[in-house]
Structure 1
Amino acid sequence: MKNIYYILILFLGLSFIGCEPMEDIHDDINDEIDGSGALADKSYTLTEDDYESLGSSFPNFNSEEDARTLIPDFLDAQYPFYGEGSSINVTFDIYDPIRVEDYEVTSDDYNEAGLDVDYFTGTSQIYDVLETVFPQADNGDYINLMYETVAEEIPYAITAEDFDLIGDNLGETYPDEASSAAQYSNFDRREDRDAYWSNDMILEAINVVLDDNFDDVTNQIYNVSYAVYDGSAGTESMTVQFNGNAYVAFGGTSYEVSAADFDEIGNEFAEEFPQPASSAAQYSNFERRDGNASAWTEAMILEAINFLLDSKFPDASEGTQFAVTYAVYTGAAGSEVINVVKVDGDYELDLNASVSTITTTEVFAFTNGSWGMPFTLAMEDYEALGQSYPNFSNEDQALYRIGIYLGMQFPYAEEGDITAVAYDLYSSGETSTEYVNYIFEDGEFSLIPSTRTSSLKFGLNDGLWVPDNTIRYSLTGDDYVTIATALEDTYPTPASSMLRYSNFDTRSDNDNYWSPDMILEAVNILLNDINPSAAVGQKYIVTYAVYNGSNTTNSLSVIKVEDGSWVLNE
């Protein structure tokens, strides 16, 4: 009766104020009903002002738990007269920035990629491993990958400033020699002079220079060239490797096949291997895809390397070793290294050569269905973007300008294309690398926001707004290990598949099949592991990866019952 009374009063008011807009009248009616202890079942989306009233500096929450904690007080103030049993579904934003996951490639990962060594020799192999390890990757996912790769030789020429550094650092040990090096910017190689530099002394000097110019990366190789004087000016070089403590002399000569070399190979083998030779000359690489008409086999490559080394080093003696690096194409650009030794006038595979590998860490991003490296701004990009330094100091400015710049860099982008970007941001005296994703829509690149929209239903119980206790949980890589380990004796084949692919195979005609009952059993094991003290009545919506012919996800809603088990919450 009370609600009817308020409504009659409002409609009587309408007869005296005929010019009031109808929507204002509706608002007044709703306000009166809201204030009368009515039973509500409605939805509400938080505004920027609402977040501010909740004490947040940003129009979002840091987590769903923050939303559960703060929203009840907000609802109590917003709707003080709603009646017992009222329900409000609140929509809000949660700050969800890009998270770069660390992963170290294991021996098993190399093996599953078809490699018989525990290191990569080409970029395509890295992408193969990423696809295997992360079959459920989504657009915009980032992985900071640690792996072993062949240590490609870094060339370095000792400068006049380096010779000054040598003079300062070795002046006490070799006074005459160091003084001469600093004065003339060379090493005196005349053995009868006080300023003479032996090979061992030059190696000491190289240690001084490389230690000053490079990070000490174990197993990294450098080909260091330097000026010498032996009665006339000349140049020598020494190949060294960092062994974890110091730079030491390294065996075989490194050689990298250049574009001009590929042209020579193309000419030399035009009749013997017409299509492979033409491809090598045109693309400056060896085509390595099996079945391709332009493919180069290992034997063909060895023949090409023989030709090349004979032409470049005609006086090489018996036993001379080379580590030759060359570009390849396997569906993606990459490189390979072949170790050869001269035997009876020909170069053969050097089976005794030890490949030098280094530990490398790089960030990769999954976009548009495949793995790749994010578009990383270089010095010239910052200059084109109006920056004096290779970084930004204003995040908003960076994000705005990068979006415009991507349109210039990718003029043929298609609707829906996603581009991962890495840029440096200077703040509070420190520079950090930031990762962002852009999507090409309606003819321009737009930033994919770092927030996600979520919602929670709150009910008024005993005068308090109480959130639904459902916890939403997505399985991680460790969770699949927990389940597979617990069930490997019961379901050996499905558990083995889970350990390898981190998912549930739901193909009923496959030996790896996980039935609905088996999945519920797995969820029981997981929830009892991650939340053993959960109260009876606790609800979970568990999202997990599945493979049903393609990679996707499913969700299971469960509730804890009196006997301590988790059953379907239907």
Structure 2
Amino acid sequence: MKKVYLIFALLGTALFSCEPMDDLQAEANEVIDNTLTAGEASYTLAEEDYEAVGIDATEGFNSYEQAQTLVPDVLNNAFPVYQNGTSIITSFNVYDPIVPTEYSVTEEDYAAVENEVGYFVSTSKVQDFLEYKFEGAENGDIVELTYNAVANEITFDISAEDFDLIEEELGDTYPDAASSAANYSNFDRREGTDAYWSNDMILEAINVVLLENLENVEGQPYNVSYAIFDGSAGTESMTVEFNGNKYVPAAGVTSYEITDADFDLIGERFADEYPEPASSAANYNNFDIRNGNPAYWNEVMILEALNVVLSENFEDAEEGAMFEVSYATYSGSSGTGMISVIKEGDEYIINTNPVPVATVETTNVFAYTGDSWNMPITLTSENYTEMGQSEPIFDDEEEALYKIGIYLGRLYPYALSGSSAVVAYNLDSEESIRYTLFTLQDGEWLGVPQVIEATLQFAKTDGVWVPDNTIKYSLTGSDYGTIAAALEDEYPDPVSSMENYSNFDRRNGNAAYWSDEMLEEAMIILLNSIAPNAEVGQKYEITYDVYNGSNITETITLIKNDAGNWVRFVED
């Protein structure tokens, strides 16, 4: 009634004042808003609230911790005279991005999955490891994994600019040879001439070029091609790898990865012999290894295909040349296979004694979607262009989610409802990568916004607004059943009474009596049922019906402690 009297008082004043009615109404509202002495209210932050505490309203707070620090200032401004004991359920925006979990595979990890070589030979082996290491992964979880992998050989061509660099760096050591290399953009291989380049000199020149142009990843092999002159123009190549200090000749094995063009070649060459597998390989750029499938490629067939590819790409390979060949596979999900081969006569056969392969430490991002780990879909420049973007970035999240949703619909036209995918894209700049989980719902791919609305309760205590995560909960009929199922053997009479009347008998001395300790035990059982994954520090204020001669209610407050147990909460 107090608020009603205030309104009448203010309206009465209007009869004898010249103040406009709007001003009087505003004053009335202000008085009403600021007379709450105890109880609960709710409030959603407005744009001016964010601005008042120096926050961009479109992004919101950058963490819950920041919100807990700054929201009290907002509440002080909005409700300056609210009294102690008041609780306000406050809604606000929080920037909650998906941040990959960084993990580096250790020697113990390799041993745990019986990997004796200490590196992964294929993507499928990495996926198997992730299944083992992150057994409890949930849809949308992302891991940035650092691990040792087979280093596929990368080609590098020495350019005219590189030959200029060689003269600049080696001109004092090999004046005639370096001058000739810069003038003609080649290495003179005519022995006996002043401009002659030996293999060791060329290796020095390669070091000059690669150390300047590459990231110098230890173990990564490069097949370096360069122009020569030995009486006529030609080319040569040298395979080198970085040993942590400089580039040295690589081991006698060549790593090669089957390309999309190679799969096209396979589709063409085996169209008559293996029509369905060949068509599948050319269409999907992989070998289907699902046994029993019409497109199935067995190991013998794959070896045949690799013979065609290696013969096409390495015409001059000599007897005994060894290759580690990796290729894309499909077994229900995308993966990678690898075969070690050696040239024997005119064909390549399985190499039963391969030399140690070159490995390199690599880092890749994997996302758990559905029931498997795969690399996120990373948008290319062409994808952005298709979506109408002039640059490979999006200006805001709303635009990104909308356009990527359409793109996924075209990419997966037959996906089932509930399917999910993680997409990596650039927001605001090419360095600003976001990972977003998309799920197919009612025919639309919907992305999870990274700016989300959060709710947090604040309580005014000693004149200060403090975060209060207390959840207020009142028992329902099913809750009494949960408690009964757990305690009926231990407390038969109290439980029987509770089930019959849906309350707790609090008459001391009665056979159905529930003591404080018994009630606490009952509520712990209930919370373990309804909130099994509650975080440490979560509080529940539970209200339940009791009978002490009259039908009333009581309340108990429990909190989850550092040990993960529910205990009675007592104010300091």
Contact 2:144–2:363, Cα closer than 8 Å, also in 1? yes
* 1:185 shift after superposition: 1.2
* 1:327 shift after superposition: 3.7
Note closer, same or farther for the CA distance 1:108–1:27 as it changes in structure 2 (3 Å cut): farther
- Aligned equivalent of 2:42: 43
Note closer, same or farther for the CA distance 1:210–1:44 as it changes in structure 2 (3 Å cut): same
Q: Residue 190 of structure 1 aligns to which amino acid in structure 2?
A: R
Q: Residue 302 of structure 2 aligns to which amino acid in structure 1?
A: I
- Aligned equivalent of 1:406: 404
* 1:43 shift after superposition: 1.7
- TM value normalised by structure 1: 0.68
Q: Does 1:206 align with 2:202?
A: no
- Aligned equivalent of 1:286: 287
CA distance in structure 1 between the partners assigned to 2:109 and 2:292 by the alignment: 25
- Aligned equivalent of 1:102: 102
Deviates more, 1:170-179 or 1:60-69: 60-69
Q: Residue 252 of structure 1 aligns to which amino acid in structure 2?
A: V
Deviations 1:101-152 (A, max 9, x none): 2111345655677866433333343344334433444555433221222111
* 1:170 shift after superposition: 1.4
Contact 1:286–1:327, Cα closer than 8 Å, also in 2? yes
Deviates more, 1:330-339 or 1:205-214: 330-339
- Aligned equivalent of 2:354: 352
Q: Does 1:162 align with 2:165?
A: no
Q: Residue 363 of structure 2 aligns to which amino acid in structure 1?
A: T
- Aligned equivalent of 1:512: none
What is the alpha-carbon root mean square deviation over aligned residues? 4.8
Note closer, same or farther for the CA distance 1:230–1:67 as it changes in structure 2 (3 Å cut): closer
* 1:340 shift after superposition: 2.3
Deviations 1:298-353 (A, max 9, x none): 34434544566567778865433333344433334444443223457763414231
Note closer, same or farther for the CA distance 1:161–1:61 as it changes in structure 2 (3 Å cut): closer
Q: Residue 423 of structure 1 aligns to which amino acid in structure 2?
A: N
- Aligned equivalent of 1:558: 559
* 1:220 shift after superposition: 0.7
Contact 1:96–1:452, Cα closer than 8 Å, also in 2? yes
Corresponding residue SS for 1:209: helix
- Aligned equivalent of 1:194: 194
Q: Residue 239 of structure 2 aligns to which amino acid in structure 1?
A: T
Corresponding residue SS for 2:180: helix
* 1:464 shift after superposition: 4.7
Note closer, same or farther for the CA distance 1:34–1:225 as it changes in structure 2 (3 Å cut): closer
- Aligned equivalent of 1:567: 566
Corresponding residue SS for 2:431: strand
Corresponding residue SS for 1:432: coil
Query: Which structure has the larger Rg over C-alpha atoms?
Result: 2
* Match runs of 1:439-450 below 5 Å: 448-450=448-450
Corresponding residue SS for 2:206: helix
Q: Does 1:422 align with 2:434?
A: no
- Aligned equivalent of 2:483: none
Deviations 1:340-391 (A, max 9, x none): 2345776341423111111111233445665444444545566778888x76
* 1:276 shift after superposition: 4.3
Deviates more, 1:92-101 or 1:243-252: 92-101
Aligned pairs, number: 485
Note closer, same or farther for the CA distance 1:117–1:558 as it changes in structure 2 (3 Å cut): farther
Q: Does 1:331 align with 2:324?
A: no
- Aligned equivalent of 1:363: 365
Contact 1:105–1:147, Cα closer than 8 Å, also in 2? yes
* Match runs of 1:287-306 below 5 Å: 287-306=288-307
* 1:208 shift after superposition: 1.4
Q: Residue 426 of structure 2 aligns to which amino acid in structure 1?
A: Y
- Aligned equivalent of 1:454: 454
Note closer, same or farther for the CA distance 1:364–1:170 as it changes in structure 2 (3 Å cut): same
Q: Residue 422 of structure 1 aligns to which amino acid in structure 2?
A: Y
- Aligned equivalent of 2:120: 120
Contact 1:438–1:445, Cα closer than 8 Å, also in 2? no
Deviates more, 1:356-365 or 1:370-379: 370-379
- Aligned equivalent of 2:129: 129
CA distance in structure 2 between the partners assigned to 1:146 and 1:89 by the alignment: 43
Corresponding residue SS for 2:191: coil
Structure 1 runs not aligned, ≥5 long: 472-514, 528-537, 542-555
CA distance in structure 2 between the partners assigned to 1:35 and 1:307 by the alignment: 83
* 1:196 shift after superposition: 1.5
Corresponding residue SS for 1:212: helix
User: Quick one: percent identity of the two aligned structures?
Assistant: 45
* 1:153 shift after superposition: 0.9
* Match runs of 1:167-566 below 5 Å: 167-250=167-250, 251-257=252-258, 276=277, 279-280=280-281, 283-306=284-307, 318-343=319-344, 347-366=349-368, 371-380=373-382, 397=395, 399=397, 402=400, 406=404, 409-412=407-410, 420-423=423-426, 432-437=431-436, 448-461=448-461, 463-468=463-468, 558-559=559-560, 566=565
